[in-house]
Amino acid sequence: MSHSHEPGGQSRSSSGADGGPRFAPDRLDARPVKPSKLGWNLGMLAFGILFIAAISTTGANFSRLADFPANFLNYSTLMVQGVFQPLTPEVQAAWTTAFSDMLESVQIAWIGTVVGALFSLPMGFLAARNMTPLPLYAVVRFILSVIRAVPEIVFAIAVMLPIFGLGPLAGALALGVSSIGTLSKLISEAIEGVDPGPLESSRAAGATKLQMIRWAVLPQVMPEVIAIWLYRFEVNIRASAILGVLGAGGIGSLLSALFNVRAWDRIGITLVVIIVVTIIIDQISAWIRHRVIHGAPKKQVRASGRADDSGDGPVLGTPPT
């Protein structure tokens, strides 16, 4: 006696030699076919061809790579010798000049970040889809895209330097305008991702648009906004060094002058100053961002009611063991 099912449904079974049911697989029980890798292989081949074509059109002389290790070792040795040379009056003046110009670069970056922060918050609300009508949203988004598409160096050369001339103010304002585009976009995305619950509650309570922004949106986004501002400050410090090469002041102007005369000993001093100051600012900024986002560390309370950071001893409300 045998039982079977039609294909397209269930597997068939028939009687075996001992009279028991025997499984007979049909086409639905076949092992899945391994997917073809033809598309993946063709995509990787096209990527490789495009990559090689892009390299070949740069016109780079790759034969000079053979000289890179020797040149790097030679220049590094000269810079290290400049850093560890005796502190003569000339060397002390070099260190003082490097720190002074680096401080000017930090000031340029700070002014640029403040200008960008002042304009980016309202522009971020105007560029947020959940806060702005569609026509205004589209116009603001287009303006911000244009600002982001233009590098800081173009703002400095084409706009700021003809107006303010050579100096740190031109570099600071160029960084500020460029920061508006990036900061506004990041802030608008943060606003679009807020919890809609407080917005709906404030709207149901009859709040105005400004009241909704003040009490339903800003408390949610301000920690992230402050973190974005601090991160842009770090980026502006590096960008200010590049703008200094154009005569916008700061450490970049000093580096440009030193590279022109190949003063490797002073270049080493300047690079050390840049690295040390940048690391210090990055660590301070990271600590502030963490404190803003996560808040102050929670303190435990002893049984006597005094705050205790160590966590040792019984905590108030915890039965003794």
The predicted structure's pLDDT at residue 252 = 85
The predicted structure's pLDDT at residue 17 = 57
DSSP class of residue 315? B
Take residue 161 and report the two structure tokens written for it: 């330097």
CB 288 within 8 A of CB 276: no
Residue type, 89: P
Helix (H/G/I), strand (E/B), else coil: 38: helix
Helix (H/G/I), strand (E/B), else coil: 306: coil
- The helix, strand and coil proportions of the chain, stated in percent and rounded to the nearest 5, come to 70, 5, 25
Considering all CA atoms of the chain, what is the largest pairwise distance in Å, rounded to the nearest integer?
A: 109
Residue type, 58: T
The predicted structure's pLDDT at residue 25 = 65
Handedness of CA 51, 52, 56, 61 (dihedral sign): positive
The predicted structure's pLDDT at residue 24 = 66
The predicted structure's pLDDT at residue 165 = 79
CB 203 within 8 A of CB 212: yes
Q: Using alpha carbons only, how large is the chain's radius of gyration in Å?
A: 32
The predicted structure's pLDDT at residue 124 = 92
For residue 128, CA distances in Å to 87, 118, 209 come to 56, 17, 14
Residue type, 207: A
Alpha helices by DSSP H, listed for 57-127, are 68-83, 89-126
* Separation of alpha carbons 270 and 120, rounded Å: 33
Take residue 10 and report the two structure tokens written for it: 């269930």
∠ Cα 40 41 42 (to 5°): 95
Question: Taking Cα atoms as reference points, which of 96, 99, 107, 153 lies closest to residue 275?
Answer: 99
pTM above 0.75, yes or no: no
- Residues in the chain where the model's pLDDT stays below 50: 1-12, 311, 313-321
Take residue 15 and report the two structure tokens written for it: 């009687």
Phi and psi at 267, nearest 5°, equal -65, -40
